[in-house]
Structure 1
Amino acid sequence: MRKSLLLLTFILSLLFTPPALASTHFKDVDNVNHAYAIPSINFMVDKGILSGYDDGTFKPDRYVDKSEFTLMIYKLFDKLRRSSNPCLDSNSKFEYADVPAGHWARKPILDIYGLDATGVVELRGDLPPYFHPDTQITRWDALHMLGYVLKGTGIGYDDTMALEIVMNLKLKDIKIKRVEPNTIISYNSADKTIYYDDTREHFGFDCGFSDDYDTIRYIAYMVGAKIMSTWNGKLEVNDKITRAQAVVLLHRLYNEVKSVGYLSPISSK
Structure 2
Amino acid sequence: MRKIRNRWLQWLLVLGLMLPALPAKAAVQFSDVSAQANGWALNSIYLMAQNQVLTGYPDGTFRPGQTISKAEWSTMVYRLFDKYRPNLYATGLQKIDGFADVSNQHWAYKQISELYSHSFNWGVYGLSANGGLMFHPDIQLTRLQLADLLYSFFDTRLVDRRLSPNDVCSVVSNFKDIPVKLFQDKAQYEEASRSDGRYSPTGIIMMTSNDVLPTLFMGSGSSDCSFGTDGFSNAQASILASLQASGIMTSDEGGYFRPLDKVTRAEAVTILNRIYNYLYKNYWLADYSTIELESSGTGSGSGSTGGGSGSGSGSFSNNPNQTSYGGGGLGPNSGGWSNQSIVNVTDYFNDQGVITKDLQKNGEIETAVLPKEKRYLTIDLKSIEKVDLTVILDGKMAYLSQEELPKTISVEGVQIVGLRTQQRNPNPLRQSVTATLSVKLDLNEPQTTKKK
The answer for unaligned runs of 5 or more in structure 1 is 1-22, 203-209
- Structure 2 residue aligned with 1:261, among 283, 299, 308? 283
User: Where do residues 150-189 of structure 1 align in structure 2 (5 Å cutoff)?
Assistant: 150=154, 152=155, 154-158=157-161, 161-162=164-165, 164-170=167-173, 171-177=175-181, 178=183, 180=187, 183=191, 184-185=194-195, 186-187=197-198, 189=208
How far off its partner does 1:45 sit? Answer: 1.7
Contact 1:176 1:193 (8 Å CA) reproduced? yes
| Larger displacement relative to structure 2 (210-219 or 229-238) | 210-219
- Please name the residue that 1:127 is paired with: 131
1:95 corresponds to which letter in structure 2?
Answer: G
- Structure 2 residue aligned with 1:217, among 238, 257, 265? 238
SS in 1 for 2:38: coil
> What whole-Å deviation, never above 9, does each CA across 1:158-212 have from its counterpart, x for those lacking one?
497145324334212112335548653422831331235678644xxxxxxx733
- Please name the residue that 1:17 is paired with: none
How far off its partner does 1:35 sit? Answer: 1.2
User: Where do residues 37-116 of structure 1 align in structure 2 (5 Å cutoff)?
Assistant: 37-83=41-87, 91-115=94-118, 116=120
Q: TM-score, normalised by structure 2?
A: 0.47
How far off its partner does 1:260 sit? Answer: 1.0
| CA distance in 1: counterparts of 2:77 and 2:97, whole angstroms | 21
| CA distance in 1: counterparts of 2:126 and 2:258, whole angstroms | 22
Greater RCO (Cα-Cα under 8 Å, separation 6 or more): 1
Q: TM-score, normalised by structure 1?
A: 0.77
Identify if the C-alpha distance between structure 1 residues 94 and 194 changes in structure 2 by more than 3 Å, giving closer, same or farther: farther
- Structure 1 residue aligned with 2:249, among 228, 231, 243? 228
- Please name the residue that 1:239 is paired with: 261
Contact 1:98 1:130 (8 Å CA) reproduced? yes
SS in 2 for 1:195: strand
> What whole-Å deviation, never above 9, does each CA across 1:103-144 have from its counterpart, x for those lacking one?
111221122223434112225798122221111111112212
- Structure 1 residue aligned with 2:272, among 241, 250, 268? 250
1:194 corresponds to which letter in structure 2?
Answer: T
| CA distance in 2: counterparts of 1:48 and 1:94, whole angstroms | 28
Contact 2:122 2:232 (8 Å CA) reproduced? yes
How far off its partner does 1:261 sit? Answer: 0.9
For the pair shown, which has the larger CA radius of gyration, 1 or 2? 2
Identify if the C-alpha distance between structure 1 residues 57 and 218 changes in structure 2 by more than 3 Å, giving closer, same or farther: same
How far off its partner does 1:91 sit? Answer: 2.4
The structure carrying a bigger helix percent of its residues is: 1
2:105 corresponds to which letter in structure 1?
Answer: G
How far off its partner does 1:67 sit? Answer: 0.7
Identify if the C-alpha distance between structure 1 residues 235 and 250 changes in structure 2 by more than 3 Å, giving closer, same or farther: same
The structure carrying a bigger strand percent of its residues is: 2
SS in 2 for 1:211: helix
User: Where do residues 5-16 of structure 1 align in structure 2 (5 Å cutoff)?
Assistant: none
Contact 2:87 2:94 (8 Å CA) reproduced? yes
SS in 2 for 1:40: helix
| CA distance in 2: counterparts of 1:157 and 1:243, whole angstroms | 26
The answer for unaligned runs of 5 or more in structure 2 is 1-26, 199-205, 219-225, 292-452
